[in-house]
Amino acid sequence: MAWIEDDKGSVLLVRQVVGQRLWTLPGGKVKRNESLKAALKREVREETGLETNAIAFQQMYDRPKRGAVTVLFKVSVKRHSARMHFPAREIADIGFFDRLPSNATPSAKFFWKSESSHRLHWTERLWARPRIAPKATKT
């Protein structure tokens, strides 16, 4: 799955056409003899029309009862591919969100909660750093 943020920190989600029409992060299944990164690039392009620029592993979501492992990658996209589209047969809607919609997939919920707590922790660490007072000047 791809974690793609815009310049304001909103996260790109797609809504599925089939089943319960849930919101999720872009991504999909890996084809035989396809690398994880190649599969992610292909899925992001197919679902959003965006071309990926950089891909970095974030974390995994192990779902043993379903016999599945979902891998999350932080993805940046190429500027020239900024026009998004979605194929009607696979994706019903697409957009950037500040909050996860209630009708989201379990994987999206897991990663959203995890990434949000990482961001909060990082922000708290930045604010917790001691401030260095400016040197007093003689007048």
**Which run of H or E residues covers position 123?**
helix 106-128
| Domain locations in the chain as residue ranges | 2-128
**Is domain 2-128 given the CATH code 3.40.50.300 in the classification?**
no
- Backbone φ/ψ region at 19: left (φ over 0), alpha (ψ -120 to 50), beta: left
Long-range CB pairs of 112-117, under 8 A, 24+ apart, other chains included:
112/11, 114/59, 115/3, 115/11, 115/58, 115/72
Average pLDDT of the chain? 82
pTM of the model: 0.79
Q: How does pLDDT run across 37-63, given as a tens digit for each residue?
A: 999 999 999 998 888 988 899 999 998
pLDDT in tens, 68-103: 899 999 998 887 655 666 665 788 999 999 999 999
Structural tokens at position 22:
């849930």
The pLDDT value recorded for residue 41 is 93
For residue 1, what pLDDT is reported? 94
CA of 72: how far to CAs of 1, 21, 57, 108, 127, in Å? 5, 21, 6, 10, 27
Q: According to the model, what pLDDT value does residue 53 have? A: 87
- Does 118 score more than 60 pLDDT? no
| Res 77: pLDDT | 86
Q: Find, among 79, 113, 86, the residue nearest to 7 by Cα.
A: 79
Question: What integer is the mean pLDDT of 111-132?
Answer: 57
126 has a pLDDT exceeding 90: no
Run of H or E including 54: strand 52-63
